[in-house]
Structure 1
Amino acid sequence: MDDNVDTPGNGQRPARTLQGVALDLDGLLFDTEPLYWQVGSQLLDRRGHRFTDQLQRRMMGRPGVQAMQVLIDALQLTDLPETLLEESNDLYAEMLTQGVTPMRGLLPWFDALEASGLPFGVATSSLHRFADQILRQNGLRDRIQFLLTGEDVRKGKPDPEMYLLAANTLGIDPANMLVLEDSENGCAAAVAAGSVAVAIPGVHCEGHAYPGAHLVADGLDDARLLGLLTTKAG
């Protein structure tokens, strides 16, 4: 038996050689989930409904129109998803002007990625303009090799399309790609793509499950996560 073969979830070195990295954005690199909570709360308050943890959980990782459809279906709203999304985007854009908080260990993690020599980028369900704005506000846009957003795929997470596209963009097999996610929908997409999936749950991910994840880390500064970068191609 190969000594590198490991059981998902134990955080040991993966048997596969890493050749690239794909990173989620919301809740993984930046603490944007509270903003999404405020947006959802305002949207539904205007319609006489209450935004809940269960609704947010179902929406996480899905592109805008699909996320709005979750609300419409769950609450039998009469809005079109495109109209609801436009209203949501206006609210979110206003909130972003105040900036967002980086997650703990973000800059050291980027430094470690660059030191490893592995190509890496962001694969998020957010709109391109918002993801680009957040990354530029924090001086990170020029440090990534690619930016994929919900506008680049037809199916949102937990479908694997986003991470299959990320692997294709990197020019590598998905099995040799490390993916970092915070939500169960995102992690499920990474697992379904056949990648080395690492979950980093935030406070907004209470109750989320991560079957098939190689590691459930404590944060971007988790030593076990940093240790995975030693499995890059020599």
Structure 2
Amino acid sequence: MDGTIVDTEPYWMDAEIALVESFGGTWTHEDALTVVGQGLWHTARVMRSRGVVLTDDEIIEALTARVMEQVREHVPWRPGARDLLDALKHAGVKTALVTMSMRSLAELVVEAIRADGLDTPFEVVVSGDDVEHAKPHPEPYLTAAALLGVDIADCIAIEDSEPGLASAIASGAVSIGVPHMVPLSSAPTHHLWPSLDGRTVADLATAFESELTR
């Protein structure tokens, strides 16, 4: 979700900086990049090590609340994401939103997407509070496939971070990396697209079929 479908990573970074600074600490852009794509409990542990005197759950609640305030004001689409979601919906392809953000934020983003004209953009939402193991563990994607009633080997996952991409690859899904805030490594385990802009259902099918011939 964050950084792949909607450009909310800057919202998270603003929230992290504000929280750490409220406890007299310093949180730089580079610090924020180290937790992109990680589960929020990992981020909370890092922030406590930087002087935030709150429990993990309190940190997650504070960050999520601040991000939700910004999402309510504006949900910025990533290039091509809206058109591709719309095309998948019209093609009858099942889709799942797999995010390590909390369900409250994921549902808020889904509602904002609906308000933008995409009715029921996802059949399934898997959030950070729905799984025991966060990305890069494969559990989030395996959970999504099970809820969709499909084999993970018949799925394509699109990710913008290394932890997310590692989760997708480990799950057995055909994996596509679309870098945004952080660079992604090139490897035979996945495809790299510079952007979703101009990408179609046919492009996804081609990526999937190429895996069958490897």
Q: TM-score range by the shorter chain?
A: 0.7 to 0.9
Structure 1 equivalent of residue 79 of structure 2: 104
Which residue of 20, 29, 38 corresponds with 1:44? 20
Aligned to 1:176: 154
Aligned to 1:27: 3
| Distance in structure 2 (CA, Å) of the matches to 1:99 and 1:185 | 26
Q: Match for 2:112: what amino acid?
A: Q
Report the Cα distance in structure 1 between the residues aligned to 2:90 and 2:57, rounded to whole angstroms. Answer: 42
Match of 1:57 in 2: 33
Shift of 1:145: 0.9
Q: Percent identity?
A: 26
Number of residue pairs aligned between Structure 1 and Structure 2: 205
- Residue 189 (structure 1) aligned with residue 167 (structure 2): yes
Shift of 1:76: 5.4
Aligned to 1:3: none
Contact 1:116–1:229 (Cα < 8 Å) also in 2 = no
Matched residue type, 1:85: I
- Which runs of 5 or more structure 2 residues have no equivalent in the other structure? 210-214
Cα deviation code 1:44-84 (max 9, x no counterpart): 111222223443233223333332112224x2544321222
Q: Is the 8 A contact 2:96 2:125 kept in 1?
A: yes
Alignment of 1:138-149 (within 5 A): 138-139=113-114, 140=118, 142-149=120-127
**More displaced 10-residue stretch of structure 1: 32-41 or 77-86:** 77-86
Q: Distance in 2 between matches of 1:162 and 1:183?
A: 15
CA RMSD of aligned residues (A): 2.2
Q: Which amino acid aligns with 2:20?
A: L
Q: Which runs of 4+ in 1 moved over 6 A?
A: none
Deviations 1:17-66 (A, max 9, x none): xxxxxxxx110000000101100110111122222344323322333333
Could you tell me which amino acid in structure 2 is paired with residue 48 of structure 1? G
Distance 1:114 1:177, change over 3 A: same
The alpha-carbon distance between structure 1 residues 223 and 129, as it changes in their structure 2 partners (threshold 3 A), is closer
TM-aligned CA distance change 1:224 to 1:111, over 3 Å: closer
The answer as to whether partners of 2:20 and 2:27 remain within 8 angstroms in 1 is yes
Say whether residues 1:216 and 2:196 are aligned partners: no
Which has the larger helix fraction? 2
Are the counterparts in 2 of residues 217 and 225 from structure 1 also a CA contact under 8 Å?
no
Equivalent position of 2:128 in the other structure: 150
Segments of 5+ residues of structure 1 without an aligned counterpart are 1-24
Which among 89, 101, 114 is matched to residue 89 of structure 2? 114
Contact conserved, 1:187 with 1:213, CA < 8 A, in 2? no
Equivalent residue for 1:14? none
State TM-score, norm by structure 1. 0.78
TM-score for the superposition, normalised by structure 2: 0.85
With over 3 angstroms needed to count, the CA separation of the structure-2 counterparts of 1:43 and 1:57, relative to structure 1, is: same
